[in-house]
Amino acid sequence: MAFTCTIPALPTIQQDDATVRITRWDFPPGAVTGWHEHGWPYFVVMLVAGVLRVHDGAAVSETALAAGQSYMRPAGIRHDVMNGSEHPIAFIEIEVKRPDALVTLPET
């Protein structure tokens, strides 16, 4: 069962090319992404401290994250994300479509 909410989280795509998709997500209190699954591994970087509630179809986990804190997840996990905070939150999501295409700068 998905989260019950009529407030959608607001995605703003900042970059979408053959290598990466970078999306800013803004969540009013109680907002949800809706059920989705990522086709690529991805990273999330919190812009505002808050509580993320994640529903995986069987259980709900709740994690408090600080501004600047990040995490990584593999592709293919179906989930729904809710802002469990009493204030708006935001994060940047970076989906890596082609890790081999990322440029590595030489060490200096």
Q: What is the pLDDT of residue 2?
A: 65
| Mean pLDDT computed over 36-62 | 94
> Which residue, among 44, 39, 36, has the nearest Cα to 89 in the 3D structure?
44
Q: Is the pLDDT of residue 1 over 60?
A: no
Q: What is the pTM of this model?
A: 0.88
The mean pLDDT of the chain is: 92
Residue whose tokens read 């969540």:
27
Q: What is the pLDDT of residue 5?
A: 72
- Asked if 91 and 46 count as a contact pair (C-beta separation under 8 A), the reply is yes
| Mean pLDDT computed over 64-87 | 95
Which of 14-23, 46-55, 84-93, 97-106 has the least mean pLDDT?
97-106
Give the model confidence (pLDDT) of 12-40 as tens digits.
Answer: 999 999 999 999 999 999 999 989 999 99
